[in-house]
Amino acid sequence: MVLAGAPIGQAGDVSPRLREALAGADVVAAEDTRRLRRLAADLDVEITGRVVSYYDQNEAARAQELVEALKEGRTVVVITDAGMPGVSDPGYRLTSLAVEAGVQVTALPGPSAVTTALAVSGLASDRFCFEGFPPRKTGERDRRLGALAEEERTMVFFEAPHRLASSLEAMARAFGPDRRAAVCRELTKTYEEVRRGGLGELAEWAAKGVKGEITVVVAGHVPGEAEQDVDALIAEVGRRVAEGEQRSQAVAAVAKGAGMPRRELYDLVHRRTATP
């Protein structure tokens, strides 16, 4: 079985090996058969093998059928719409079944939105983790991101354009509004854009509306950074109070700007300024 990395934007990024694999496969399992046909036309490749659909909704049922074809000695190429099968795309279940069946599994490496975004983000790339798509439900997403608050590796996420603003706001709450990040849009395509800045700033930008395929890269936690941030927030509240602003109003304003709960900051200020 061959897991074939598909181009993430430019058909010209494919390798000669992918052309050969598509032309010589007995079966090509594609996430979207129409997109496969367009890719083959762009590459001037004739697919002579059987083309079958292989996507999220039919993955479980189709996987067993493909394993049977592999056992019969047929060459099966698995290709998704973009990137590598199994990485936030169909392919994991089939690969697991093929391995269990003793079938040889190999891959034709190709462009990856994960590593491409990481490379152009300007953030540390020596250690990173891929977190896929954040949960859609607010509570689940907040819990998932909260668990990553002290992750020291650079983090890479995928996100749908219509959920980008709310996800960036959630990240600003979990990681802090000043945590550095990069939103990479339409990588390798005509309208490629990489927007870099703090999470709070990026959330404001995304609220105006964003289109296209999105990959978000977020800097990892630096030990001691959170404590420094808290000190800065408390100092800002103190400055506002010294200038005549009511403490509750100062706390509310600073907490809103920092993307953190007002009560949490109020308690921190109270504990820091309370008389022993």
Q: What is the value of pTM for the model shown? A: 0.78
Q: What pLDDT score does 259 carry? A: 65
3-state secondary structure of 4: strand
CB-based contact 62:52 (threshold 8 Å): yes
* Dist CA 250 CA 267 (whole Å): 13
Q: pLDDT of 98-129, one tens digit each?
A: 999 999 999 999 889 999 999 999 999 999 99
Q: pLDDT of 162-185, one tens digit each?
A: 999 999 999 998 998 889 999 999
Q: Where are the domains of the chain?
A: 2-108, 113-218, 225-273
Q: pLDDT of 201-255, one tens digit each?
A: 999 999 999 999 999 999 999 876 655 577 788 888 988 999 999 999 999 988 8
| Largest interatomic CA distance in the chain | 81
* Dist CA 4 CA 21 (whole Å): 8
Residue partners of 168: CB distance under 8 A and separation at least 6: 181, 183, 199, 202, 203, 206, 216
According to DSSP, residue 179 is labeled S
Q: Which helix or strand (DSSP H or E) is residue 117 part of?
A: helix 113-121
Matching CATH number, 2-108, of 3.40.1010.10, 3.30.2320.30, 3.40.50.620, 3.30.450.20:
3.40.1010.10
Q: What pLDDT score does 276 carry? A: 47
| Residue 138 structure tokens | 């607010």
Long-range contacts of 269-276, Cβ-Cβ distance < 8 Å, separation of 24 or more: 269/234, 269/237, 272/234, 273/238
Top-level class of domain 113-218 = alpha beta
* Dist CA 12 CA 126 (whole Å): 28
